[in-house]
């Protein structure tokens, strides 16, 4: 019986090559794209899922109520972790975590590496497998370090290095450390990344800050005891917070902050480890959002949905051609169940062929997909037995619903009705129309989303940020020399080069450089009886000139002698509330007052999803610089870049030059938006192509069903234009109806998305008009060729057709 079903299914599919080919091509493309998108989404959702104790590990976030509203921060003071472990019950393990860069030395080898400064419980908490060395307590000694396999190979040329000594550059001084263990390389799905792990107590900032509760510069992760819940632990920290942050809470109350709904001014909150990758601190609140991977899954589902709608519509439309076959089968005793299995087996065959081709397509285009969407998916993810079984299960489920509906519709037809070759099409036409409205509605929704996304990206890319981003190159000062000395040497070496206009430095980058590092510093101090918080930037005295920042009052730093003064931006001037901000004296250090030398025009030193905040510029050779900036002449940018690289390699021959223009840095800050836009754009194109394939197939079938009608209309004098209009108007009505449904949905979704940005485009009506016009034009082009051909056909041939 099953063999017969397969044989008949094959014959029927081969007989109708056009529809079969369109169905298989559409479904294969949909499956291939959905597999790639699904792998990318699952990769994102798998972040930090590999830790054995992950369900009980949390990141600590401190929240507080300020006069301006709620604030939240991840950085904590050095005494928090040991005090929390000693005073609050429920802590099983705890570790501080400070990411940094360092130079590692062994013999003549000098390597720039990513280092984390952590407590001794770090490797007991997190699942970074120790492959060699002390597995139980790899960081038991203060001078112990753990290297990844890749780091050991780079520095020593081998992983058999347990007990060997290396030197690390700590605050400008080389200090010896001993390799106690080797761990496997960090998997891409890890939020915590490092090449070297060292004890937190060995960090140069530790001893000065080990008792300072107002110096916050690192993260804290805690593992709770079995049975202790996150909410329970948060409640148990209230008295701890009230004790250790009493002075800060009193200042918040004094300055007019309002308590939260629980009457609290400050709290410690826990974010589960599996949520850390998806956590952002916007508008002073903790926001956990997996919208990106779910959006990817949503696009994959919509593409599959469109392909399935095509299959259903074409199956229903061509069912009229098989009415006599159904009647004959019923006359010969076929039961509904047998007819259902026959028609469903045809669908199953099509779906099995399509998923096979789809898997092959996903493997062929895997590398291109990884490059385009910056993901680390692999063939191994697809070839896992559970994934293969899941795909087969998905095919069975989809074929049961998608292929089952037309099969059920045809198997329920009466014998007499089938033999007459007449099908009551009202109900099936309604289903077809509804599905086509959904289909084009999805395509229009994706088109609007694409237009708005790229509009916002172009706005962010071209917005005047208040500084020169096209002519300035930044690069990390990752060498072994003192950073201030390196900037001075760069100035001396490049002074005679006409392509280099100026050179300076600062302790943070603008945008996201090639090294991938980002940092921001804030400082709080008392000013006329109230607390003031400002972003704090340590700079070289040529920084403002190099970036082309506009001085609106007072003056810029002239030389290193101005280190006893500060320069502020307009937002900081407003924060001080002085009629003349140049009269202000800021007590940034206890008992030391810094006069305001000048005020610069506000500029966007943060990402564009955040409003401009107060910032204060400060000069000090005691505080190191981390990035150099060079303004180059516009006529010869390529030669200027090469000159910078040559000079850097001369001064720091063992440190990699990682220079990039600031406009490139800014572009990197909205990499996720560009990836999303690419995915939505790709999804839109595929959705349009699939919708057009379905529309084209439907027009073929409907024109063939109305052949006699076309002939009669031509005989009685109907023009080609009027016949074409009659054949296309119903389809265009459906597209227009889809537009009316999709537009308000798209408006609501994109309006909510744009609210994430402090600087954003207006949601213009032209985005919607453009999407609707594009959908109508595409629909007309798809069905126009076939309908015009049918309208121009010889009516004699049409009337002879049975």
In this structure, what are the phi and psi dihedrals at residue 112, rounded to the nearest 5 degrees? -80, 125
How much of the chain, in percent, has pLDDT values that exceed 70? 84
Burial of 677-708, coded b for 16+ CB within 10 Å and e otherwise, reads bbbbbbbbebbbbbbbbbbbbbbbbbbeebbe
Return the H-helix or E-strand segment holding 131: strand 130-133
How far is it, in rounded angstroms, from Cα 306 to Cα 295? 16
Query: CA–CA distance from 727 to each of 310, 546, 697 (Å)?
Result: 19, 66, 14
How much of the chain, in percent, has pLDDT values that exceed 90? 28
Neighbours of 710 (CB within 10 A): 23
Find out whether 637 and 555 touch, Cβ atoms under 8 Å. Answer: no
Closest CA to 128 of 179, 182, 183, 57: 183
Residue 369 is predicted with a pLDDT of 87
Closest CA to 447 of 32, 777, 778, 770: 770
Find out whether 570 and 564 touch, Cβ atoms under 8 Å. Answer: no
How far is it, in rounded angstroms, from Cα 242 to Cα 248? 9
DSSP 322: G
If DSSP states are collapsed to H, E and C, what string results for 168-187? Answer: EEECCEEEEEEEEEEECCCC
Surface-to-core class of residue 653, CB atoms within 10 Å of its CB (0-12 exposed, 13-18 middle, 19+ buried): exposed
Asked if residue 421 has pLDDT above 80, the reply is no
First to last CA, the chain: 34
Three-state SS for 268?
A: strand
How far is it, in rounded angstroms, from Cα 322 to Cα 326? 6
Residue 19 is predicted with a pLDDT of 72
How far is it, in rounded angstroms, from Cα 179 to Cα 201? 17
DSSP 259: P
Q: Which two tokens stand for residue 320?
A: 């009229």
Query: CA–CA distance from 640 to each of 487, 489, 500, 505 (Å)?
Result: 17, 17, 6, 17
Asked if residue 511 has pLDDT above 90, the reply is no
pLDDT tens by residue, 161-210: 999 999 998 877 889 999 999 999 998 899 999 999 999 999 988 888 88
How far is it, in rounded angstroms, from Cα 486 to Cα 795? 87
Residue 406 is predicted with a pLDDT of 60
Domain ranges for the chain = 1-50+305-424, 68-256, 432-464+670-802, 479-657
Asked if residue 708 has pLDDT above 70, the reply is no
Query: CA–CA distance from 349 to each of 315, 591, 690 (Å)?
Result: 14, 82, 20
pLDDT mean over 342-363: 82
Find out whether 145 and 177 touch, Cβ atoms under 8 Å. Answer: yes
Residue 410 is predicted with a pLDDT of 57
585-590: which pairs have CB atoms within 8 A and are 24 or more residues apart? Answer: 586/525, 586/527, 586/616, 587/525, 587/526, 587/527, 588/523, 588/525, 588/616, 588/618
Q: Where does the pLDDT of residue 426 fall: very low under 50, low under 70, confident under 90, or very high at 90 and above?
A: very low
Q: Where does the pLDDT of residue 716 fall: very low under 50, low under 70, confident under 90, or very high at 90 and above?
A: low
Strand partners of residue 147: 182, 196
Q: Which two tokens stand for residue 381?
A: 């993810």
How far is it, in rounded angstroms, from Cα 118 to Cα 33? 42
Query: CA–CA distance from 98 to each of 118, 150, 518, 788 (Å)?
Result: 7, 21, 13, 69
How far is it, in rounded angstroms, from Cα 264 to Cα 653? 54
In this structure, what are the phi and psi dihedrals at residue 282, rounded to the nearest 5 degrees? -115, 140
Query: CA–CA distance from 589 to each of 228, 521, 525 (Å)?
Result: 41, 15, 8
Q: What is the rounded average pLDDT for all residues in the chain?
A: 83
Q: Could you tell me the pTM of the whole model?
A: 0.83
pLDDT tens by residue, 440-461: 888 888 889 888 888 888 888 8
Strand partners of residue 177: 166
Find out whether 632 and 552 touch, Cβ atoms under 8 Å. Answer: no
pLDDT tens by residue, 224-238: 999 999 999 999 999
Q: Which two tokens stand for residue 149?
A: 């396999």
Find which of 5-9, 26-30, 119-123, 785-789 is predicted with most confidence, using mean pLDDT: 119-123
Return the H-helix or E-strand segment holding 598: strand 592-600
Residue pointed to by tokens 């990141």: 59
Q: Which two tokens stand for residue 509?
A: 């980058």
Asked if residue 771 has pLDDT above 90, the reply is no
CA angle 665, 276, 119 (to 5 degrees): 95
Sign of CA dihedral 149, 150, 151, 157: positive
Q: What is the DSSP string of 657-681?
A: ---EEHHHHHHHHTHHHHHHHHHHH
Residue 755 is predicted with a pLDDT of 83
pLDDT tens by residue, 81-101: 999 999 999 999 999 999 988
Asked if residue 686 has pLDDT above 90, the reply is no
pLDDT tens by residue, 539-561: 988 899 999 999 999 899 887 77
Q: Which two tokens stand for residue 617?
A: 């510029």
Asked if residue 606 has pLDDT above 70, the reply is yes
In this structure, what are the phi and psi dihedrals at residue 321, rounded to the nearest 5 degrees? -75, -15
Asked if residue 320 has pLDDT above 80, the reply is no
CA angle 788, 789, 793 (to 5 degrees): 115
CA angle 490, 495, 497 (to 5 degrees): 105
Q: Where does the pLDDT of residue 243 fall: very low under 50, low under 70, confident under 90, or very high at 90 and above?
A: very high
Contacts of residue 301, defined as CB under 8 A and 6 or more positions apart, other chains included, come to 34
How far is it, in rounded angstroms, from Cα 85 to Cα 93? 8
How far is it, in rounded angstroms, from Cα 769 to Cα 626? 49
Residue 419 is predicted with a pLDDT of 46
Asked if residue 680 has pLDDT above 90, the reply is no
Asked if residue 3 has pLDDT above 90, the reply is no
**Biggest alpha carbon–alpha carbon distance for the chain:** 105
């Amino acid at each position: 019986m099953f063999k017969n079903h397969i044989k008949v299914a094959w014959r029927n599919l081969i007989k109708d090559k056009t529809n079969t080919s369109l169905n298989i091509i559409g479904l294969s493309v949909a499956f291939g794209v959905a597999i790639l998108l699904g792998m990318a989404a699952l990769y994102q959702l798998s972040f930090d899922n590999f830790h054995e104790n992950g369900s009980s590990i949390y990141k600590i976030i401190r929240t507080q109520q300020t006069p301006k509203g709620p604030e939240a921060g991840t950085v904590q003071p050095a005494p928090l972790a040991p005090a929390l472990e000693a005073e609050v019950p429920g802590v099983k393990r705890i570790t501080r975590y400070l990411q940094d860069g360092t130079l590692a030395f062994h013999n003549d080898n000098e390597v720039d590496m990513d280092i984390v400064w952590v407590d001794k419980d770090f490797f007991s908490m997190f699942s970074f497998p120790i492959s060699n060395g002390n597995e139980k307590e790899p960081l038991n000694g203060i001078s112990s370090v753990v290297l990844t396999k890749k780091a050991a190979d780079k520095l020593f040329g081998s992983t058999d290095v347990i007990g060997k000594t290396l030197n690390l550059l700590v605050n400008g001084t080389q200090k010896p450390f001993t390799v106690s263990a080797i761990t496997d390389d960090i998997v891409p799905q890890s939020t915590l990344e490092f090449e070297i792990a060292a004890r937190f107590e060995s960090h140069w900032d530790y001893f000065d800050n080990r008792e300072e509760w107002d110096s916050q510069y690192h993260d804290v992760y805690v593992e709770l005891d079995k049975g202790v819940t996150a909410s329970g632990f948060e409640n148990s920290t209230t008295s701890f917070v009230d004790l250790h942050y009493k002075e800060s809470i009193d200042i918040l109350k004094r300055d007019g902050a309002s308590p939260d709904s629980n009457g609290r001014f400050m709290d410690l909150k826990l974010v589960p480890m599996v949520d850390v990758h998806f956590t952002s601190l916007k508008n002073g609140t903790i926001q956990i959002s997996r919208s990106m991977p779910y959006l990817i899954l949503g696009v994959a589902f919509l593409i599959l949905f469109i392909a399935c709608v095509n299959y259903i519509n074409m199956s229903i439309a061509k069912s009229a051609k098989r009415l006599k076959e159904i009647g004959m089968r019923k006359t010969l005793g076929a039961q509904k169940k047998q007819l259902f299995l026959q028609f469903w087996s045809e669908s199953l065959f099509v779906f099995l062929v399509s998923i096979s081709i789809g898997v092959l397509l996903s493997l062929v285009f895997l590398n291109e997909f990884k490059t385009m969407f910056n993901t680390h998916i692999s063939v191994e993810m697809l070839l896992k037995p559970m994934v293969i079984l899941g795909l087969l299960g998905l095919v069975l489920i989809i074929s049961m619903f998608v292929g089952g509906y037309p099969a059920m519709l045809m198997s329920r037809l009466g014998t007499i009705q089938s033999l007459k070759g007449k099908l009551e099409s009202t109900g099936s036409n309604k289903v077809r129309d509804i599905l086509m409205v959904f289909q084009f509605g999805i395509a229009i929704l994706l088109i609007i989303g694409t237009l708005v996304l790229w509009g916002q990206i172009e706005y962010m890319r071209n917005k005047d940020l208040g500084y020169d981003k096209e002519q300035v190159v930044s690069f990390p000062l990752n060498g072994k020399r003192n950073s201030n000395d390196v900037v001075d040497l760069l100035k001396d070496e490049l002074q005679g080069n006409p392509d280099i206009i100026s050179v300076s430095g600062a302790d943070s980058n603008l945008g996201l450089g090639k090294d991938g590092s980002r940092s921001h510093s804030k400082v709080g101090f008392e000013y006329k009886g109230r607390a003031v918080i400002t972003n704090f930037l340590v700079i070289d005295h040529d920084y403002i000139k190099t970036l082309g920042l506009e001085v609106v009052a007072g003056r810029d730093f002239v030389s290193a002698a101005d280190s006893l003064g500060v320069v502020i931006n307009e937002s900081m001037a407003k924060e001080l509330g002085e009629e003349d901000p140049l009269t202000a004296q800021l007590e940034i250090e206890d008992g030391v007052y810094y006069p305001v030398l000048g005020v610069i025009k506000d500029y966007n030193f943060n990402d564009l999803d955040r409003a401009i905040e107060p910032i204060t510029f400060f000069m000090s050779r005691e505080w190191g610089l981390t990035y150099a900036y060079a303004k180059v002449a516009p006529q010869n940018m390529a030669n200027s870049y090469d000159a910078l690289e040559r000079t850097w390699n001369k001064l720091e021959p063992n440190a990699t030059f990682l220079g990039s223009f600031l406009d490139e840095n800014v572009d990197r800050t909205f990499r996720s938006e560009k990836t999303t836009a690419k995915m939505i754009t790709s999804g839109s194109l595929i959705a349009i192509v699939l919708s057009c394939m379905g529309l084209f197939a439907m027009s073929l079938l409907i024109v063939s069903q109305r052949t006699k009608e076309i002939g009669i209309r031509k005989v009685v004098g109907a023009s080609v234009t009027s016949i074409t209009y009659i054949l296309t108007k119903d389809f265009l009505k459906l597209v227009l109806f889809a537009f009316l449904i999709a537009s308000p949905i798209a408006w609501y979704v994109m309006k909510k998305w744009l609210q994430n940005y402090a600087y954003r485009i207006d949601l213009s009506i032209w985005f919607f008009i453009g999407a609707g016009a594009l959908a109508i034009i595409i629909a007309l082009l798809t069905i126009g060729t076939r309908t015009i051909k049918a309208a121009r056909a010889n009516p004699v041939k049409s009337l002879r057709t049975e």
